[in-house]
């Protein structure tokens, strides 16, 4: 993570163009200081929403001020280390905000920016951050607000990024997770949903996934909300099952299948809503199995 930030920072030292940054992520907002002469730095921010917390639920990647190493103070957290923060020593984080998303209503799937109400198809805070970035960009290039509203109201994610499918009459949400933050974001969405559901976790350890799967211990499987069963699959199906068991989930409700096809078949023996988390190389094979079942039924 740090290597990536430093590389982008190095490039930005001589950059004078428009730069749009998430002010709620201390690892991102710091890039605004890479070139003090750039007058075109724009920060966006997402206001507190009903699931914001005053403590960090997961392992965060930005606890300390990158400029003076003081521990950052948070007014609230949205997810992981994303939230309203400031450095109590050097005031890092206290930037003028160009665009702010407010009145976030996950139930109605709406939020407001500059008194414009945006209705979207997703109920994830993570997606609202992405949309706020997109709206900030569109605003800088004078794209008509009504056009943005229309585009956002019909936009649906596919290809395994919070993708919604119906398989054998079963509502299914599938999301890619390559790291603890991504997985925790999916679990936050699952926990915000009061309905009964089942979780399917597919974990591979191929070369591009990283052969070290110790990151699964930073996933917050504690206190899952109304999860009736968990099915695991992938080359490391047993590792993820053990992680979940250690988190306190009833082991008699965990099923592991190293074989993906078998796992998907076992998963759809009932019509309880499914949340699916798959890591990098497991995502497309998982989707393929799901679609096979969808079009066969
Ligand atoms: Zn500081």
The reported pLDDT for the residue numbered 59 is: 66
The reported pLDDT for the residue numbered 297 is: 57
Which of 109, 133, 154 is the C-terminal boundary of a domain? 154
Task: Identify the three-state secondary structure at position 258.
Answer: coil
Which of 104, 133, 154 is the C-terminal boundary of a domain? 154
Tell me, in angstroms, the distance from the centre of ligand 1 to residue 91's CA: 6
Q: Are residues 189 and 241 in the same domain?
A: yes
- Identify the residue with better confidence: 138 or 79: 138
Which of 38-47, 159-168, 204-213 shows the highest mean pLDDT? 38-47
Tell me, in angstroms, the distance from the centre of ligand 1 to residue 101's CA: 25
The reported pLDDT for the residue numbered 62 is: 75
Tell me, in angstroms, the distance from the centre of ligand 1 to residue 70's CA: 5
Other C-beta atoms lying within 10 Å of the C-beta of residue 266 = 16
Q: Are residues 101 and 239 in the same domain?
A: no
Q: Using CA atoms, how far apart are residues 114 and 100, in angstroms rounded to an integer?
A: 8
Q: Using CA atoms, how far apart are residues 94 and 96, in angstroms rounded to an integer?
A: 7
Tell me, in angstroms, the distance from the centre of ligand 1 to residue 62's CA: 12
Average pLDDT for 150-163: 86
Tell me, in angstroms, the distance from the centre of ligand 1 to residue 32's CA: 14
Tell me, in angstroms, the distance from the centre of ligand 1 to residue 65's CA: 5
Least confident of 52-66, 88-102, 149-163, 179-193: 52-66
116 near 135, Cβ under 8 Å?
A: no
Q: Are residues 108 and 190 in the same domain?
A: no
- Name the region of 71 (left: φ>0; alpha: ψ -120 to 50; beta: rest): beta
The reported pLDDT for the residue numbered 60 is: 66
- Give the confidence band of 156 by pLDDT, cuts at 50, 70, 90: confident
> Which domain range does residue 264 map to?
163-296
Q: Are residues 75 and 135 in the same domain?
A: yes
The reported pLDDT for the residue numbered 160 is: 78
- Give the confidence band of 116 by pLDDT, cuts at 50, 70, 90: very high
Tell me, in angstroms, the distance from the centre of ligand 1 to residue 28's CA: 15
pLDDT digits (tens, 9 = 90+) for 118-140: 999 988 898 999 999 999 999 99
The reported pLDDT for the residue numbered 98 is: 98
Q: Are residues 52 and 190 in the same domain?
A: no
Q: Using CA atoms, how far apart are residues 170 and 274, in angstroms rounded to an integer?
A: 7
Percent of the chain surpassing pLDDT 70:
99
Q: Are residues 167 and 88 in the same domain?
A: no
The separation between the first and the last C-alpha atoms of the chain, rounded to the nearest angstrom, is 43
Q: Are residues 183 and 220 in the same domain?
A: yes
Tell me, in angstroms, the distance from the centre of ligand 1 to residue 29's CA: 12
Average pLDDT for 91-101: 97
Q: Are residues 46 and 189 in the same domain?
A: no
Q: Using CA atoms, how far apart are residues 256 and 41, in angstroms rounded to an integer?
A: 49
Tell me, in angstroms, the distance from the centre of ligand 1 to residue 68's CA: 4
The reported pLDDT for the residue numbered 208 is: 86
Question: Bridge partners of 256?
Answer: 232
Total structural domains within the chain: 2
Q: Are residues 171 and 147 in the same domain?
A: no
Q: Using CA atoms, how far apart are residues 212 and 235, in angstroms rounded to an integer?
A: 12
Other C-beta atoms lying within 10 Å of the C-beta of residue 229 = 21
CATH number at residue 223: 3.90.190.20
Given a cut of 60, whether residue 39 has pLDDT beyond it is: yes
Q: Are residues 105 and 56 in the same domain?
A: yes
Tell me, in angstroms, the distance from the centre of ligand 1 to residue 21's CA: 18
Q: Are residues 88 and 51 in the same domain?
A: yes
Average pLDDT for 278-297: 91
Residue 252 CB contacts under 8 Å (≥ 6 apart), including other chains: none
Q: Are residues 96 and 218 in the same domain?
A: no
pLDDT digits (tens, 9 = 90+) for 193-235: 999 999 999 999 998 888 899 999 999 999 899 999 999 999 9
Tell me, in angstroms, the distance from the centre of ligand 1 to residue 182's CA: 27
Tell me, in angstroms, the distance from the centre of ligand 1 to residue 86's CA: 8
Which of 90, 120, 154 is the C-terminal boundary of a domain? 154
The reported pLDDT for the residue numbered 146 is: 96
């Amino acid at each position: 993570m740090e290597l990536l930030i430093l590389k982008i920072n190095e490039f930005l030292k001589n950059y004078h163009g428009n730069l749009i940054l998430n002010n709620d992520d201390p690892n991102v907002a710091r890039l605004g200081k890479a070139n003090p002469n750039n007058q075109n730095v724009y920060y966006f921010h997402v206001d507190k929403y009903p699931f914001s917390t005053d403590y960090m639920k997961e392992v965060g990647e930005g606890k300390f001020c990158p400029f003076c190493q003081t521990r950052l103070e948070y007014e609230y957290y949205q997810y992981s280390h994303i939230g309203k923060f400031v450095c109590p020593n050097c005031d890092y984080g206290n930037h003028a905000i160009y665009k702010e998303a407010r009145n976030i209503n996950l139930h109605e799937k709406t939020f407001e920016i500059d008194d414009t109400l945006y209705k979207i198809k997703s109920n994830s805070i993570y997606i609202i951050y992405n949309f706020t970035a997109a709206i900030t960009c569109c605003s800088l290039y004078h794209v008509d607000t009504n056009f943005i509203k229309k585009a956002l109201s019909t936009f649906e994610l596919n290809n395994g990024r919070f993708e919604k499918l119906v398989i054998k009459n079963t509502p299914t949400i599938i999301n890619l997770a390559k790291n603890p933050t991504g997985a925790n974001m999916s679990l936050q969405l699952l926990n915000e949903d009061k309905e009964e559901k089942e979780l399917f976790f597919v974990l591979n350890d191929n070369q591009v996934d990283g052969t070290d799967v110790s990151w699964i211990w930073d996933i917050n499987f504690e206190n899952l909300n109304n999860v009736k069963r968990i099915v695991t699959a992938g080359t490391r199906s047993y590792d993820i099952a053990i992680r979940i068991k250690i988190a306190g989930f009833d082991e008699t409700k965990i099923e592991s299948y190293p074989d993906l096809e078998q796992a998907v078949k076992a998963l759809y023996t009932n019509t309880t809503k499914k949340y699916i988390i798959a890591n990098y190389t497991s995502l497309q094979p998982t989707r393929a199995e799901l679609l096979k079942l969808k079009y066969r039924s």
